[in-house]
């Protein structure tokens, strides 16, 4: 009977590889977490600290460092980090060296509501709690706050943030009533009656033309109200 040595060699090699892989996997699972690294991505990293993330994990998951890797459930750790109201996105993974890496994107406030309830409006139009670690320099939203007025304020803020001049100078949005909004500027005494959120591009184009001319004439301080509510025109009320 002729023996197929190639087949036997291939079988032994396969068994050896499987054994080594299983041994390596077993050793990997028995390894412990050597260190924890918390990385905040982007440039909006003011509302949550590394210490607060560590505290959150300890309170809801227990100590992670020196814990056996096989005991970790990375999805659960991600969910715990995401449960913090300041977190927009989180990714957690383990390196081959046993380091637990957490990459976190914090939420970005674009407006601050000052009413019966005080909170931020974030860049997705959602409510975001105030932070004990940092106060954002964003326009203040006041007046008759409702769900619809917040949606409109979000639309206005998005437009403002796309324009360098408006982003630097608009410091407040006052809700007179739903569909009727007033803007406050950093350096000017007048207020801008915007009306509703329709035709924002046309309204602000007209405003910028008025502002440029009034600034050239040194007459900005003469106005108390600048209204953009009327179709394709700027109506001013002097002091």
3-state secondary structure string across the chain: CCCCHHHHHHHHHHHHHHHHHHHHHHHHHHCECCEEEEEEECCCCCCCCHHHHHHHHHHHCCCCCCCEHHHCCHHHHHHHHHCCCCEEEEEEEECCCCEEEEEEEECCEEEEEECCCEEEEECCCCEECCCCCCCCCCCEEEECCCHHHHHHHHHHHHHHHCCHHHHHHEEEEEEEECCEEEEEECCCCCEEEEECCCCHHHHHHHHHHHHHHHHHCCCHHHEEEEECCCCCCCEEEEC
pLDDT, position 24:
46
pLDDT, position 8:
57
pLDDT tens sequence across 9-32: 566 566 656 654 554 454 555 578
Q: What is the pTM of this model?
A: 0.80
Give the pairing type, strands 140-143 and 170-177: parallel
Lowest mean pLDDT among 5-9, 45-49, 154-158: 5-9
Cα Dmax for the chain: 113
Tokens coding 117: 């309830």
Structure confidence at residue 236 as a pLDDT band (50, 70, 90): confident
Tokens coding 174: 């006052």
What is d(CA 53, CA 6) in angstroms, rounded to the nearest whole number? 57
pLDDT, position 4:
54
Q: What is the mean pLDDT of the chain?
A: 87
pLDDT, position 9:
58
Q: To the nearest whole percent, how much of the chain has pLDDT over 90?
A: 57
Domain ranges of the chain: 32-106, 109-238
Q: Which CATH homologous superfamily contains domain 109-238?
A: Cell division protein FtsQ/DivIB (3.40.50.11690)
Determine the topology of domain 32-106 in CATH.
Ubiquitin-like (UB roll) (3.10.20)
pLDDT, position 64:
84
Sequence-ordered list of residues with C-beta below 8 angstroms from that of 178, at least 6 positions apart, any chain: 144, 146, 148, 149, 152
The predicted model gives 192-212 an average pLDDT of 93
CB atoms inside a 10 Å sphere around CB 186: 10
pLDDT, position 7:
61
> Is residue 36 pLDDT above 50, yes or no?
yes
pLDDT, position 132:
85
What is d(CA 50, CA 102) in angstroms, rounded to the nearest whole number? 10
pLDDT tens sequence across 204-224: 999 999 999 999 988 888 889
């Amino acid at each position: 009977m002729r023996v197929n040595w190639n087949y036997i060699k291939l079988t032994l090699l396969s068994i050896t590889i499987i054994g080594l892989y299983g041994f390596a996997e077993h050793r990997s699972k028995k390894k412990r977490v050597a260190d924890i690294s918390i990385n905040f991505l982007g440039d909006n990293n003011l509302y949550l600290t590394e210490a607060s993330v560590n505290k959150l994990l300890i309170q809801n998951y227990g100590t992670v460092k020196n814990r056996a890797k096989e005991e970790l459930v990375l999805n659960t750790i991600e969910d715990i980090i995401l449960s913090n109201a300041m977190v927009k996105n989180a990714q957690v993974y383990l390196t081959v060296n046993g380091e637990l890496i957490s990459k976190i994107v914090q939420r970005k406030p674009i407006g601050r509501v000052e009413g019966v309830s005080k909170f931020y409006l974030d860049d997705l139009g959602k409510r975001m709690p105030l932070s004990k670690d940092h106060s954002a320099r964003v326009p203040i939203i006041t007046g008759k706050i409702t769900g619809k007025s917040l949606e409109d304020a979000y639309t206005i803020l998005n437009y403002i943030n796309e324009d360098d001049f408006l982003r630097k100078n608009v410091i407040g949005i006052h809700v007179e009533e739903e569909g009727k909004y007033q803007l406050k500027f950093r350096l000017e005494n007048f207020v801008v009656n915007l009306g509703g959120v329709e035709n924002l591009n046309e309204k602000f184009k007209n405003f910028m033309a008025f502002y440029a001319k009034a600034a050239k004439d040194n007459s900005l301080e003469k106005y108390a109200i600048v209204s953009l509510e009327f179709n394709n025109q700027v109506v001013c009320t002097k002091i």
